[in-house]
Amino acid sequence: MDRRRFISCVGLGSLATGCAGLGRPAKTEGIQREHVMKNEAIAIDASFPGGNIILDRLDGDSVYLRQDPRDTPRWWFYWAFRVRGAAGRSLTFHFTGGNVVGLRGPARSRDGGWTWEWLGMENAALNRFAYRFAADENDVRFSMGMPYQEAQLTAFLKRYDRNPRLRLGRLCTTAQGRNVERLNFGCLDREPQYRVLLTARHHCCEMMANYELEGIMEEVMSDSQAGEWLARHVEFLAIPFMDKDGVENGDQGKSRDPHDHCEDYGRDSIYPSVAALKALAPAWSQGKLVFALDLHCPAIRGEFHDVILCPDRLRGRENWQRTAEYLEILERAGQGPLRFNLEDSRRFNGWDGSGKEGASPNQFSTWVRTVPGVRIGTVIELPYASAGGREVNQDTARAFGRDLARALHEYLDRRGA
């Protein structure tokens, strides 16, 4: 079921009817709601992959809107919408669903969601932003992050169409009939010495993780020292979209009802992608899965949400010590503009890694540590917009992904390959 929203603003005069009752998308499937905004044909909608918005009301040049929670019972902050027909206009967008504008303002795309840039806070606050559309800006997208969909993944993979280091397959089919991509890359022409599992979008709104994953793949597919070594010794298995339906629908995904994909690793999984991965990973790894990394983004802002973090709250000194060995390499050897600081994670977790409360037994990071042979099963949280005061964007997230791959090379090489 497509649960995306469309709102059109056409005609003359003033807004005569409110938008009361604009609730969950299932109740408004296929309906165009017409409202009046002066004498300009302006369309505000979320009818594209990853779109998410609810229009509350229009008042002159002010637009009142909010993020659509859908089946997420708790407050969350993901939104992405499109404005067409507003060339030459100045509009102010007021968010009635809380402070959902990030530290660098909204992200803007003028090419249909392929490239994005932060607009900054000069004309923004945490719950609103103003924008003057240029005379030729008839189709502009805005979002709290830099959305990444199946189309972006497809375009990225085309760069490696005939590369022997990459094999594209299918993990499963979703409940809504979508293909969940399975990527095997690295050492594919012989039995590898090590295997590594990478996952992203357990929480479907956490899009910056996919740019990070692209960076990991770029390094492995390159002719750099790390890329060549990893391609000789390591087979990677990556699942870019664990919640593929949520990614394409534009859901929040975090804490969805009855539980989200990351919390589905108990005995009876309800999501096809999680059930398929639980069956695949042990058989594929053959005891050689030494490293498993789940890529996430944190909350929209806060002390530990504005730094790159390894939130390893699992109780167990041994796992934290192994993870910290890798993280020390990552901190020391980072080359990109985004830098990891191990002290941030130590403060968050407790110095010995014993954790504050322990992870849920149903989480990915708990389950993956039960796969035979695994040494490290952990999580990296990459902020949406600002990490240690440095800008997170499509390019810097990819660069950090390359740092993750280079650190993995050094970590595994130390083990005596």
How many Cα atoms within 13 Å fall on the side-chain side of residue 260?
A: 25
- Residue 6, strand partner residues: 45
Contact 129, 101 (CB under 8 A): yes
Amino acid at 72: T
Report the pLDDT averaged over residues 261-281: 97
- Backbone φ and ψ of 113, nearest 5°: 95, 10
Structure tokens at 214: 């692209």
What CA–CA distance (Å, rounded) separates 244 from 273?
9
Note the pLDDT tens digit of each residue in 29-70.
Answer: 333 333 333 335 799 999 999 999 999 999 999 999 999 999
Confidence band, pLDDT 50/70/90 cuts, at residue 316: low
Report the pLDDT averaged over residues 270-282: 98
As a whole number, the mean pLDDT across the chain is 88
Residue 4, helix vs strand vs coil:
coil
Out of 30-44, 139-153, 238-252, 311-325, which region has the weakest mean confidence (pLDDT)? 30-44
Domain boundaries, the chain: 6-143, 150-414
- In the CATH scheme, what is the code of domain 150-414? 3.40.630.10
What CA–CA distance (Å, rounded) separates 385 from 374?
32
Note the pLDDT tens digit of each residue in 395-410.
Answer: 999 999 999 999 999 9
Q: Which residue has the higher pLDDT, 346 or 221?
A: 221
Q: Does 6-143 carry CATH code 2.60.40.3120?
A: yes
Structure tokens at 297: 């983004």
Structure tokens at 35: 């409202």
CB atoms within 10 A of CB 211: 25
What CA–CA distance (Å, rounded) separates 198 from 363?
15
